[in-house]
Amino acid sequence: MHAEDLTDLMKPLLVYLSIFCLFFTPIWAQNSVIILEGNYQGKSLYVQNPFNSGGVGFCVTEVKVNGNITTDETNSSAFEIDLKAHKLNLGEKVEVKIFHKDGCKPRVLNAEVLKPRSSFEVLSMTVDADGTMKWSTKSETGILTYIIEQYRWNKWVKVGEVEGNGTPSGNEYTFKITPHSGKNQLRIKQTDYTGQPRISKPVDFVSDIAECNFSPVKTNKEISFISMTDGKPSETMYEIYDQYGNIVKKGYGNKVDVSNLPRGSYFINFDNKMGEFSKK
């Protein structure tokens, strides 16, 4: 058989293979995937499911939750991914994969239900005389940071943070704060994706730390903090504001360098007090 004859015989087969590849591309080659990760909060996901780019059939081809194919009916313009059916525990990690055809894209209408929400309940909260704060919680449904706040200078001041465990069963936490003299008030709070903080009731304790004062009220170099009990240097948390209310220095110590501040009047917060000084 001549080469020309063999080529003529192969032409129909090549045409057939081309048509087969055009219309019978494997489904994995046609699919894209949307991946959602978070924690189970007891709610379902809702998906808006358009027609595919060819106008026949819907976009989504398959849904998996933590690797398991769901039995949700995806052959409609909108459908629910029922996470409850997967027997998940509150706060349990969830990975949802929504496979869809190329040329179209489904829309998850409430993806935020997988984001952690602040739901903690305080079981107990105590503070030792040295400022060691302990608290226990339940009903956490996702990992969020606890902000520890101390009430001083007529406002709540952030003094630290602790990463939450995010589990609904009992959780125990400890944080060491720096007390000021007299009565101290502390609280914890979390802020989730809604932007609304969840705040505990405050807990009080009385510190035996001696009161302090600052001097001088007119200076060109530094401010010193002095114990009112024995006149010795006393360490304290402090904030300094200019006359426009802008914070210009903050920290912790028994003195603060103000030599680089412009001349003028300043407000100073220290210990549990507020005062004023002038920079010469």
- Of 272, 209, 275, 203, nearest to 241 by C-alpha is 275
d(CA 37, CA 112) in angstroms, rounded, equals 10
Confidence at residue 8, expressed as pLDDT on a 0 to 100 scale: 56
Do domains 121-207 and 212-279 share one topology? The answer is: yes
d(CA 253, CA 242) in angstroms, rounded, equals 20
- Of 153, 277, 145, nearest to 218 by C-alpha is 277
* pLDDT tens column, 78-109: 999 999 999 998 888 899 999 999 989 999 99
- Give the architecture-level CATH label for domain 212-279: Sandwich (2.60)
* pLDDT tens column, 234-262: 999 999 999 999 999 999 999 999 999 99
* pLDDT tens column, 156-165: 999 999 999 9
- Of 254, 253, 248, 252, nearest to 279 by C-alpha is 248
CATH topology classification for 121-207: Immunoglobulin-like (2.60.40)
| Domain spans in the chain, listed from the N-terminal domain onward | 26-114, 121-207, 212-279
Q: Count Cα neighbours of 257 within 13 Å in the Cβ-side half-sphere.
A: 2
Mean pLDDT per 10-residue interval, the chain, length 280 residues = 51 44 39 91 94 86 94 92 91 93 94 92 94 95 94 96 92 95 96 93 94 96 96 96 96 96 97 95
d(CA 75, CA 98) in angstroms, rounded, equals 13
CA distances in angstroms from 1 to 8, 9, 11, listed in the order given = 11, 11, 16
